[in-house]
Structure 1
Amino acid sequence: MNAQQWLERTTRDLPAGVAGRVERETRAHLQDAGWPEDADVRAVLGDPEATNEGLRRLYLTAKELEEVTTGGSLRTGWNLSEWLAGLVFPAILLWEALRSGALSSGLGVAVLLAGVALTWDLHPARRRQWRLMLMLLVAGWLYGLPGVWEYTGWPMVYAPLFSTLIVVYAAHSHLRRDARLRRTLQAEEGRA
């Protein structure tokens, strides 16, 4: 298997910027090793399928990137979900907190507005993902957790531990996906 065949199998389903980066680095590695590109490169580069699996753990696939960027090639315009998470839902919670004096709704507003401020300078795709995750966590905490807890009948003393475990799991999953998205966006923006 020559270098071009190896690269085609390795970069299958990856975005163009990621594939370009992998190709540049692979060709540089082969040149440093003094390995001819028309020779069988598996001895130097390894199994292309295993490398593709490793790259998929580091980067989003082209299809995942398209889904995340919602509506085309790295769309940066107006997005309903971002406005819902960053403005509409906090406004509803603020109104609820002012009307009923619910401390939990006020805390939810504070978390969401802090999230808006902290994500302000992120790439639009990453910003949307962070704001939606925060909105879902706050909504789950305010509206879902009490109902689930009432249904289970478990003692209320375990609720903070349960909610902490959910937040830790969600944050861990989101951080891993965000790292893949960040690396993919860097590779895509560098392909110009």
Structure 2
Amino acid sequence: MTLYDWLNVALRDLAPAAQERMTAEYHAHVQDAMTGGLTEPEAVATLGDPAQVNRALRRTYATDQELRNGQGPKVWWLMLLLVAGYGLSALWFEQAVEAVAAATALVLACLAWVLVRSEPRPVRNLLLATTGPWLFNFTLWLGWSVQAWLGDPPSFGAILWLLTVLWVVWLVDTMQQARRMRRTLTLGGRA
């Protein structure tokens, strides 16, 4: 297998900055091996299975699609509208606990916006796309939790614990994705 063929598989779908960086590193490795007396196919074979290398690189760097994802602001604003609508409907039906939960979520939304606005656009889009649904989820959870605390638990009370577990999973996954994006953007000088 030639280095060109190996690189096509190993670097497939990675962001351009990661592809450029890794191409230079693998090319230098193959050149060093060929200087040591190996042929190109032998030198390329020392790089390992390109599909496995691709999986490992995707755990380290973001893909081109991840960096181009622009869903953050759309999802963010839709979820804020849902939270505000939920809060207004709670006021209309005189459900003070749910209205306060929605107001609390909107205050947290303002704080989240302040925290993510300085991030590079791809990272900000990821964080907003994840935080929007979390805020709506939090609104429901807070209302149900306060109801349970006041002695009127919802009939599906076990969901209160399940939602907190879901938040931890969301947080871990989102932070891993954001770290990969920041690392990739740093390679291209866009961070």
Q: How high is the TM-score relative to the length of structure 1?
A: 0.70
Report what 2:167 is aligned to: 167
User: Tell me, what secondary structure is at the counterpart of 1:45?
Assistant: coil
Instruction: Give 5+ residue unaligned stretches, structure 1.
Output: 71-78
| Larger displacement relative to structure 2 (20-29 or 2-11) | 2-11
Report what 1:44 is aligned to: 46
Q: Is the contact between residue 14 and residue 60 of structure 1 (CA under 8 Å) also seen in structure 2? A: yes
Alpha carbons of 1:116 and 1:61: their partners in 2 closer, same or farther (altered >3 Å)?
A: same
In 2, Cα distance between the equivalents of 1:144 and 1:164?
9
Instruction: Give 5+ residue unaligned stretches, structure 2.
Output: none
The two structures, once aligned, show a CA RMSD in angstroms of 3.6
**1:177 Cα shift?**
2.0
Which letter maps to 2:114? A
Report what 2:19 is aligned to: 19
Give the paired residue count.
176
In 1, Cα distance between the equivalents of 2:90 and 2:108?
14
Q: Is the contact between residue 97 and residue 106 of structure 1 (CA under 8 Å) also seen in structure 2? A: no
**1:186 Cα shift?**
2.9
Alignment of 1:116-127 (within 5 A): 116-127=113-124
Q: Is the contact between residue 137 and residue 167 of structure 1 (CA under 8 Å) also seen in structure 2? A: yes
Alpha carbons of 1:182 and 1:135: their partners in 2 closer, same or farther (altered >3 Å)?
A: same
In 1, Cα distance between the equivalents of 2:75 and 2:172?
22
Report what 2:178 is aligned to: 178
Equivalent pairs: percent with the same residue?
26
Which letter maps to 1:139? F
**1:58 Cα shift?**
2.1
Alignment of 1:20-169 (within 5 A): 20-31=20-31, 34-35=35-36, 38-66=40-68, 68-69=69-70, 79-84=73-78, 100=96, 102-143=99-140, 146=144, 153-154=155-156, 156=157, 158-169=158-169
Alpha carbons of 1:95 and 1:139: their partners in 2 closer, same or farther (altered >3 Å)?
A: same
**1:37 Cα shift?**
7.2
Q: How high is the TM-score relative to the length of structure 2?
A: 0.70
Bigger-Rg structure (1/2): 2
Which letter maps to 2:43? V
**1:9-29: CA deviations, max 9, x gaps?**
211222322111101122233
Alpha carbons of 1:111 and 1:168: their partners in 2 closer, same or farther (altered >3 Å)?
A: same
In 2, Cα distance between the equivalents of 1:19 and 1:37?
24
In 1, Cα distance between the equivalents of 2:31 and 2:189?
22
Alpha carbons of 1:37 and 1:84: their partners in 2 closer, same or farther (altered >3 Å)?
A: farther
Q: Is the contact between residue 62 and residue 184 of structure 2 (CA under 8 Å) also seen in structure 1? A: yes
Q: Is the contact between residue 117 and residue 124 of structure 2 (CA under 8 Å) also seen in structure 1? A: yes
In 1, Cα distance between the equivalents of 2:186 and 2:86?
35
**1:89 Cα shift?**
6.1
